[in-house]
Structure 1
């Protein structure tokens, strides 16, 4: 009997009316990450290990790639899931095209896959609010 070894990926994309610099800030500044995602000790440095913490538990992460204003990637390990989250920012005429990809959902991880599919939609909604609030603040 052949074993299913395919992995699945959650992809979410948004077109934001904000410059890549503002989107990048919300993805990489600890106090802003806490507003839209979870508590963390994140630093945008390759090899930096950090945790994301929520009421339901902790996610262990490591920064894998940083290309300012373009790409951010980190491992995402929690509850038996070993995955990678990659953010890609592409400047557009009206702002930024943001793509989030979480890859590595294996067979038998349907609950994690469906949870991530719903969860990332909520996180991205909050991310948009945080970025919009930057407009009201310092204007950078």
Structure 2
């Protein structure tokens, strides 16, 4: 089981206190870490979720949801003790406490996976999702 290795990269960008929320120079200093590209298991980190702050990884293909791949997604979820919640896009949530551990977005240019950085099996889940959802 492997947590994500990008925790320090994410933490370096977070607002340390409300006192510097309007400080442009402090912001510029924090975001310098973005100059260093990050990846996990070969998948590039493309940013953070705007509302959730979860790191987002790009999959190397375009994803279009079908009955077949949503069934595969549900099988992945079960392997990780999760269920799938279908909203605007699918979220994987733990059965034990409903905590969201992943979300998968489909766009016309590429697919993305958002992962909870503290989830013990995050890297393993990323790899499994990428393999399972890969178009035939």
TM-score range, shorter chain: 0.3 to 0.5
TM-score normalised by the chain length of structure 1? 0.33
TM-score under structure 2 normalisation?
A: 0.33
